[in-house]
Amino acid sequence: MTVILSGFADEISPDLDTQLAVLAELSIRHLELRSAWSTGVADLDDAQVARIGRALDGAGVAVSAIGSPIGKIPVDAPLAPELDRLRRIADVAAALGTSLVRVFSFFIPAGHPAEQFRGPVLDRMAALAGIAEERGLVLAHENEKEIYGDVPARCAEIIRTVGSPALRATFDAANFVQCGVAPHTEAYPLLAPYLEYLQVKDALAATGAVVPAGDGDGQVRLTLAALDESGFAGFVSLEPHLAVAGRFGGFSGPEDFTRAASALKGLLDGLGVSWR
């Protein structure tokens, strides 16, 4: 197996040139675009997107996926603006040569059981998938704290019930740890049939603190070994969150991003898994 390394380069710096310089030092030739110049991907204008495209071409870097915020809104918020945001992100994805877009499955009100919102969530995810089908996208649903798809059973349920080839899964071990889930033991068996993409960060079960891959309770090595056995040859994307880990994103800085990349490469090398 050879995996393709990528990462949320805005965790290095808000400045795109700095992002690309650090990626070059790490021999990482893809990035997952979440923001540039402190502007979120859904809010980039055409001139900024064109500027990103020129910079990426000059650096020999491609976009692995769009790290979108789609679905990170309350489940009872109006849906139409979110559908418009997805259409705009589809334009950005097309301009930058990717068809993969990360999405979420809507925040559930505190104190309410997630199952109470099953119907509205599934309807909303189906609407997102419908746009993705029209625009040639694949939506990679990320497990995230406080959304409907926070635990493995509901993540799998969303994808299985919507039943669209445009809705698949991305896998975040740290987020599962922070939800009290053993990522490989409990989540991987349910999500492996739908797995399109891997996001890499780890966490400590006792505190929820985010740590480099392999230093926490995220069973990252076990998941990488299973992916190797399965023949997975997709993207493995660093999302370190080593300096800041917030509800709507995180930050690491050049030094901690480099530390996170070294930890991931060490796990891959120890497993005999090639990366590029």
| Per-residue pLDDT tens digits of the chain, which is 276 residues long | 799 999 999 999 999 999 999 999 999 999 999 999 999 999 999 999 999 999 999 999 999 999 999 999 999 999 999 999 999 999 999 999 999 999 999 999 999 999 999 999 999 999 999 999 999 999 999 999 999 999 999 999 999 999 999 999 999 999 999 999 999 999 999 999 999 999 999 999 999 999 999 999 999 999 999 999 999 999 999 999 998 666 777 888 999 999 999 999 999 999 999 999
Residues in the chain: 276
The identity of residue 228, as a single letter, is: D
Contacts of 270 (CB under 8 A, 6+ apart): 221
Query: Which structure tokens are listed for 221?
Result: 């090595």
- Cα–Cα dist 13/66, whole Å: 17
| CA–CA separation, 237 and 32 (whole Å) | 7
State how far the alpha carbon of 126 is from the alpha carbons of 84, 131, 164, 255, in Å: 15, 9, 8, 40
How many helices (H) does the chain have, and how many strands (E)?
Answer: 9, 15
The model scores a pTM over 0.85: yes
Q: Taking a C-beta distance cutoff of 8 angstroms, is the pair 12, 252 a contact?
A: yes
CA distances from 212 to 18, 86, 202, 252 (A): 21, 31, 6, 11
Rounded to whole angstroms, what are the CA distances from 157 to 162, 191, 220? 8, 10, 23
Residue 26 is encoded by which pair of tokens?
């790490």
What is the reported pLDDT for 247?
A: 73
